[in-house]
Amino acid sequence: MSVNSHKWKPTFILIAVNVIVYLYAAVVGGSFLQIDYQIIVVFGQVNGLVLSGAYWQLFTSMFIHVNIAHLLGNMLFLLIFGLRAEKLFSLHEYLLIYLVGGLAGNLLSLFFMPLWVPSAGASGAIFGVFGAATVYVRRRIGQSIIGALAIAFLLLLLSSGPNVNNLAHIGGLVFGLFVGYVLAKKRKSMTEYSITYSY
């Protein structure tokens, strides 16, 4: 059993939340395959609206998806990277990485994306989880983080394309890499101290 085994699987809970939000938006908008544009404008991130006071969009946009393919793609990556991260981090650490990683991506988008282009999806948060897990594993086993950065850069390239918010990906990824590195360094130092003290 994992050291950080969780009674309630946070990855499954986050997937369930995303799916429930999608189903609700689909019912309200009248289409299961494509979410109504007006719903995306209200619950996604539109920088002009955020700057006018719709601050909730920085958080709700992490849980709203544009269409069924968008949802399924993100949930697949969340399942892959999330289950891995559950074995590395405590519940609070995991949720922090996910939520603040998504927020970091949205804040970066707020500063550099056009005012009236809607943005939505969990990919910034997922990139945060991916970045944290990747650098954490390599740092804990004493490997250079260059490999983790190379993998992260490759995934960024593979995920980029038209109508993709690369800024959200970058913001979440940078936050995840930072947190993963800090947690790995902290635990490695604690382990070394414990060994030295015991000796």
For the annotated catalytic residues, the residue numbers are 123, 169
CA–CA distance, 174 with 185 (Å, rounded to integer): 17
Question: Which residue type occupies 84?
Answer: R
The residue among 79, 83, 80, 78 whose CA lies nearest residue 101 is 78
Phi, psi of 119 (to 5 degrees): -135, 140
- Find the DSSP H helices in 6-65: 10-29, 37-43, 47-51, 57-60
Please name every residue paired with 119 in a beta bridge, in sequence order, or none if there are none.
Answer: 45
